[in-house]
Amino acid sequence: MLYNDKVMFSISLRSLKGKNLFREVKHRNSPQGPKIIIDGKEYINFSSNDYLGLANHHDLIKASRLAMDKFGLGSGASRLICGGSILHEELEKKIAEFKETESALVFNSGYAANTGIIPAIADEGDAIFSDEFNHASIIDGCRLSKAKTIVYKHKDTDHLERLIRKTKAKHKIIVTDSVFSMDGDIASLKEIYELCASLNLYGRGYPAPTNCLLYIDDAHATGVLGNGKGSLVHFGLKPEPWIIQMGTFSKALGSFGAFVAGSRDPINWVLNTARSFIFSTALPSCVIAASIAALELIEKKPELINRLWANRDKAAKGITKLGYNIIESETPIIPIKTGSIKNTLKISQSLFEKGIFAPAIRPPSVKEPRIRITVTAAHSDEDIGRLIKALVTKM
């Protein structure tokens, strides 16, 4: 069937605008940080995932410059050709040590990691059990795999176990975010861990081990939970051989890229089969150097994480005191329930006019629209006070 591309896209764009779902990019004219400049005006930034305020930290910048002087800028090839430097190897060793695992592997982004790793570890005849609030990259990773994907109710371990019991599969893979990026709540990892452990040890009435694997997306937990080491440490759990952890350098660590950490064999398997790793040009060494510096920084400066949580608690208490519903937030991600898309846009614009940058979050990113406030260690008491004051008048 022939069609006019221009007319088709014009109609589709009008439909998006009619539903208040049309998006535009705003361009920052400043470094990332608690304050940013857009169109010549300064705003307090409550939308960044730069939880520890490291994106513009001098230690990361210095490390990156030194690496650029030594290794140049572009990496020129994939890791399996000649794109990696000795810094890539150093970072992977540091991540394995940081996560207390045998091995680790660097990916180009959290999205590339999830869409590469999940299809690599889940094959035809396997079953993936995915939390209904998992990130889009997890959803896409599940879709790209040959396994059957079964969605369980958000943080409902009883529902998860019922689904596992009635599902026949060669291998069963539980996939969950540890910190859910739009709700700010934490997965029931202790219960999931115990379920997975018992399944692998004949427990809970199963006649044989189910070969159950737990895949944790620690993107918003790395540098935030467990003294920065992530969700397993937060819950006092060990990185068992049947656990694979993914995390990112692009959020609390202030750099760019992602990693997978676990036992040596599964990491080597991912290295040899994950298409997003095999067929991607390696991250530049200067980016890798910044990630190494970030890891070293958070290990020697725990006060950064302490400051983050003090700011989070101050902001959450101030927002809820005004009567706003912050859903089930437990982390520096604080969603404010706003009702309709129209009202969400109205509140976001009101904040913008008051010098607060907090864009509206709308479908398809979430089912229910919201203002997603993210607090960082770099925010001052005055910044948080201005946010609370700007929210005083409800829309």
Catalytic annotation, residues: 181, 220, 251
Query: Closest by alpha carbon to 22, among 8, 32, 9?
Result: 9
Query: Closest by alpha carbon to 252, among 296, 298, 314, 302?
Result: 298
Q: How is residue 281 annotated by DSSP?
A: B
Tell me the DSSP string of 212-243.
Answer: EEEEEE-TTTTTTSGGGT-HHHHTT----TTE
Token pair recorded at residue 390: 């700007």
Beta strands in the chain (DSSP E): 35-38, 41-45, 103-107, 127-131, 148-152, 172-177, 212-217, 243-248, 258-262, 333-337, 356-357, 360-361, 370-374
Token pair recorded at residue 380: 């001052």
CB atoms within 10 A of CB 101: 23
Number of H helices, E strands in the chain: 14, 13
d(Cα 236, Cα 150) in Å, to the nearest integer?
28
d(Cα 142, Cα 117) in Å, to the nearest integer?
10
Residue 8 in 3-state DSSP? helix
Residue 130 in 3-state DSSP? strand
Q: How far is CA 218 from CA 225, 278, 389, in A?
A: 9, 22, 33
Residue 6 in 3-state DSSP? helix
The torsion angles phi and psi of 183, rounded to 5 degrees, stand at: -110, -20
